[in-house]
Structure 1
């Protein structure tokens, strides 16, 4: 969308009001009626976006339009029109002249709003919710950013993008099937966190969180760790608001604490009841000390142990109204620039130099460059992204100091980009340096230190240094268990990595056993269909296959593929990866016809979703060709192998490992067809390329030389074959310590 564009021949875009990850809001002029309106546009979604996510996002946008357009109340934003223009979904709403509660708190420098304003806002929102709930609509994402106070004092609820009709349970279940969490952690009800069905009382809990924040200056569970926030909502009674701000009326405090009751049945039944209580509280007698509603009382039972829902791990804390600045994007949680120095007390006592805060212009320029790097990374342009992240890290060091937390966060992002750009050795150096600096400035057990050490171990594994990677994971795991406990998601992630490294060390039984333990723990803590649980079950299946237990591996891959299709969507890359492994397992079990059906369907899906020459499409076609050969259909297998080899050579390069695997498959087909001279030429070309790239003693090179010797035998050239076998044996012994 751009300035002065005419949408649907009627709405002239004037200037950008706001922008989010999924779209933009513009001030516009309705040319037909001569009035100003707000136009909300969903950003164009391209082939790089996950199709299942795109489908759900568009459906939610349409649902917001249908739900909001059906509402007519002074406390709800009016929707005038909805449609699609040149592939872009748009929603036309009344143009609100005012500030949302999040902005009001920020304008007030994080201080709570005046008491009279708090009470007025509470009553108006209660009235609006009473109306929407009577229409059978639950908002499900009530937060300060979705409540606007106009310049005339009117308060309106906005953004019904994830609202649910009270009778539309099946529809909502389909929308939430992608694993996209609904709600914002600081304002979510316990039942929403637990994945249970929600009704209007969930909105009342969220309203309690909002009122608590505008009345005290902070949400009831004002923590930076998502896990702690969710546990707080689920298990911890909030501190009474008057402990933060004694001048609040007692009836208001009682109402807020009742709204924040853990059990829905202990909250006000509906918003109308709440409104009556708030109005009556304006004339209530002064506060007298006593037991406030919501406080734990002697004899109260301890909170029941309940699991957090399967989708909570991937959530960040979201933006709260009085946050400290930009929220970070992956991979490093501290990488967003704020410019605030957080030196340890020991540093201050030692008289360490503290740099002055950089100018706003310098911070803005640096933030813009970081965003440019992230945008390049999202498009897969890792070499360019890497150079930008390295430059940003250097500039942060100059502005903030080499050991400033944000400098180290930027260096982590640069390390991540280095790894994705194929510079694993440089990434290892970068992560090692960050881990050392964080240990020096934050301490050895600080979460940021452990995160950097864990990334260091990961890169060691990428470099084939699996023993060192295993040692690194074991050390981090011990610290995580000590600091966070055995079942914390970060602990389980480290144990998962440890299982992976055990497998690469050849300790397959240990790897399988560890992965099974982690999968069980993740299923218990996160839920059986959480993406992390399924990743570990995928690792279990891999270990089972390596142990030759292919029936068990096949069953596990199939279960993972089915669960991923339900939670992530049938076209998600992780779902497709599990289906690919299902095909491999079927082939290993000699069930070539079934494997062929799996690969044909996979090739069709990969081609549709990623294109015909995507490496994963070609990988699926390679599997298809292999199974054609297993079924004795060698003419078809040869044609498929030759075409895949040509495509891989063009896309990946002549000496790429995947290209060479396809070229070997050409040779295999030629041999089975009795065309041994041609097979010999192909085997020799593969062996020469592998020797050039990997070295003469690499296992893949030696396997190719054995293929070449076998070909020579078939051609009756026994002497040459024997000499080649002897050379391979010598090189193999040289690779094996203690060999004869």
Structure 2
């Protein structure tokens, strides 16, 4: 194909960005939709080729297109279209900007990846495999070159070129019967090598090989002879990872060795089970080094000797192919690796930015937040340190990845400082509009948001949005991601009308360019539904959230975290509509699923159970609510400690429901104890502290201790006027509480005077979640 070729009158080819043994990948423009895409073309073969070989190659490509086009998951490369043009088969995919795991190891000079990156990659790949396996699809060639890490840390599986439908065994057998080996020796499962039955657990074995390599720097059987590698997979127990890299956590060693069990029955049941193990284990803190640490080079494993190994005849002439370890390709050859299929270097930039789900459940006082896209601090960025090596871009990339790792561990202060410094250095070295500079600025903004500095974060996202729109266009996915994050921050600042306009514009663009069921489109619709609720348009919010939950359940599965976040939002909106029984059923279902998938003590599970308690209280089931909040207090204390805000929120629920049961002396004592801790931990004017102080006043009123109640209400009103302003709805509510106390004390003139100076609250409790 000539570079100026317009394929099917729609796809304008620009330049080759990846080559492999079967074809090449072009950077292209979909002129119908105005979006950048990657077009993967099957390499035309001359008439001297065996017609049977040609037939199998074409059939495999067509099957790849049909299978890949059916997949819609953020961890799988999105396929937009496929067809044939002048005898050349082609596949149109989203344009990925990042590097595959093979290239990451190459850039890391043969050293393994940081531990937190290995764990994060494992979790994301497991999530994607869980989805594809539910569709009955097995990849069969999972290897580092087929797993992409985007610039924002998101991971995607590429090239389902030899995937097969689980029920279509006979057709696959015909393909393999041609003598074309399916798989790469360093990552093939024992049953794949022996020609046995293949199912989803073969992919789990291959993933174990990939994780072994990125965690230690070498595959489990690091040999140059393909025959010896295959015998090693079949007969030799792999060496524990920690014997090669001592600082690896024990749980990671166990998980990878379980994946490398010789029989499918010895491995995790499925990818969902694997992901559950990873999520549970990664809650243990893992150390992070900045930049990427350097490890002692690994020694090769000794030659494996096996007496007369019985392997398939096709394995006799097999070569080892390309391993993920660095240094195996000369610089001039990189990007053209016949053994890597069509998944060599896809792009050179790293500008695509993610829109992740919340890492923890939202605070029950405000309902689930919209889903942020990913975040800095004010003040001048630090000057670049003199004396950095000439390989500065690689050093900056490593520092950028370290910042992402710190964020994933919740160490946002450190992540913010790293991203801020990388922004300064990348801006100086690469320029302010370079994709890498903008990616770092995006992450800086995200960290600022997580540090509760939305104004500073909004400033950075405005800069990213303007630059990307200028450089890439208004409909580019990177531009839309930045705009969506801008809308999220506008919502956090209470500017919901502005947020609505931005969300609505982004949604129209995403639906037009990506389709209604693309994960990013659904994320935008989720956020728009949330924002509609904040605008009081509850019926619209409910309908949209329900549609998103149904779509996510269909595409990702009922127990996927994205699905559960939206089902949580549906239940929340039902509560705001006063449909408490339906809300209770919804929360209970989400809580039960989260307990199964994440564990009973996971913060998301506990947050959902808190909402169950709110519904119970609203339905007059105070005794059940009281028992639940006592259990929550114990669980939160065990997980977070007795003074953690979430533990105190659960204790607050205990006090409220004691009051609902008319046990007012106990209720006042509990409220006072919680208020004292909140004042010490959060400060006297913190909203949670003031809520507890008001709860003390409510109890004192029920006990007819009106003088004491008046003092507490007055303190709350003064603090809210000071922090929120005299006309804020919460301040006005507190003044009305004061007036009520004065009336009970027989001081009607003062009460009337306070009423005259206090207009009725315009918005109830200011949009905050009602007390439990």
The alpha-carbon distance between structure 1 residues 440 and 547, as it changes in their structure 2 partners (threshold 3 A), is same
8 Å contact kept, 2:732–2:760: no
Deviation at 1:166, TM superposition (A): 4.0
Partner of 1:355: none
Deviation at 1:422, TM superposition (A): 2.2
Matches within 5 A, 1:400-411: 400-411=430-441
The alpha-carbon distance between structure 1 residues 622 and 329, as it changes in their structure 2 partners (threshold 3 A), is farther
Q: 310, 313, 326: which is aligned to 1:276?
A: 313
8 Å contact kept, 2:526–2:545: yes
Give distance in 2, aligned partners of 1:509 and 1:181.
Answer: 35
Partner of 2:575: 545
Partner of 1:197: none
The alpha-carbon distance between structure 1 residues 375 and 570, as it changes in their structure 2 partners (threshold 3 A), is same
Deviation at 1:419, TM superposition (A): 1.3
Give distance in 1, aligned partners of 2:198 and 2:546.
Answer: 48
Deviation at 1:720, TM superposition (A): 0.6
Partner of 2:276: 178
The alpha-carbon distance between structure 1 residues 731 and 128, as it changes in their structure 2 partners (threshold 3 A), is closer
8 Å contact kept, 1:596–1:624: yes
Partner of 1:349: none
8 Å contact kept, 1:664–1:686: yes
Give distance in 2, aligned partners of 1:449 and 1:600.
Answer: 46
3-state SS, counterpart of residue 606 of structure 2: helix
Kindly indicate whether residue 765 of structure 2 is the aligned counterpart of residue 701 of structure 1: no
Give distance in 1, aligned partners of 2:575 and 2:186.
Answer: 62
Partner of 1:462: 492
TM-score under structure 1 length normalisation: 0.59
The alpha-carbon distance between structure 1 residues 133 and 18, as it changes in their structure 2 partners (threshold 3 A), is farther
Partner of 1:677: 707
Kindly indicate whether residue 259 of structure 2 is the aligned counterpart of residue 162 of structure 1: yes
Q: Which runs of 5+ in 2 are unaligned?
A: 1-109, 127-141, 148-180, 214-218, 239-255, 281-308, 320-341, 357-387, 767-772
Deviations 1:41-68 (A, max 9, x none): xx9xxxxx9xxx9xx9xxxxxxxxxxxx
The alpha-carbon distance between structure 1 residues 444 and 101, as it changes in their structure 2 partners (threshold 3 A), is closer
Deviation at 1:429, TM superposition (A): 1.5
Matches within 5 A, 1:258-273: none
Partner of 2:588: 558
Deviations 1:681-738 (A, max 9, x none): 11100110000000000000001111111111111111111111111127869x99xx
Q: What is the aligned-residue RMSD (CA, Å)? A: 4.2
State the aligned residue count.
491
The alpha-carbon distance between structure 1 residues 725 and 714, as it changes in their structure 2 partners (threshold 3 A), is same
Partner of 2:631: 601
* Bigger Rg over Cα: 1
Give distance in 2, aligned partners of 1:125 and 1:376.
Answer: 33
3-state SS, counterpart of residue 422 of structure 2: helix
3-state SS, counterpart of residue 506 of structure 1: coil
Partner of 1:591: 621
Q: 415, 424, 429: which is aligned to 1:385?
A: 415
Deviation at 1:179, TM superposition (A): 8.1
Deviation at 1:135, TM superposition (A): 14
Kindly indicate whether residue 510 of structure 2 is the aligned counterpart of residue 480 of structure 1: yes
Kindly indicate whether residue 584 of structure 2 is the aligned counterpart of residue 490 of structure 1: no
The alpha-carbon distance between structure 1 residues 120 and 522, as it changes in their structure 2 partners (threshold 3 A), is closer
TM-score under structure 2 length normalisation: 0.57
Matches within 5 A, 1:230-379: 275-279=312-316, 360-367=390-397, 369-371=399-401, 373-374=403-404, 376-378=406-408
Q: 217, 223, 226: which is aligned to 1:150?
A: 223
8 Å contact kept, 2:503–2:524: yes
3-state SS, counterpart of residue 141 of structure 1: helix
8 Å contact kept, 1:677–1:715: yes
Give distance in 2, aligned partners of 1:328 and 1:604.
Answer: 44
Partner of 1:728: 758
Give distance in 2, aligned partners of 1:730 and 1:587.
Answer: 26
Deviation at 1:541, TM superposition (A): 0.7
Q: 205, 208, 212: which is aligned to 1:141?
A: 205
The alpha-carbon distance between structure 1 residues 600 and 321, as it changes in their structure 2 partners (threshold 3 A), is farther
8 Å contact kept, 1:653–1:659: yes
Q: 653, 664, 667: which is aligned to 1:637?
A: 667
Q: Which runs of 5+ in 1 are unaligned?
A: 1-15, 25-42, 44-48, 57-99, 106-117, 183-271, 283-318, 334-357
Deviation at 1:396, TM superposition (A): 0.7
8 Å contact kept, 1:127–1:275: no
Give distance in 2, aligned partners of 1:552 and 1:382.
Answer: 37
The alpha-carbon distance between structure 1 residues 278 and 665, as it changes in their structure 2 partners (threshold 3 A), is same
3-state SS, counterpart of residue 115 of structure 2: coil
8 Å contact kept, 1:697–1:732: no
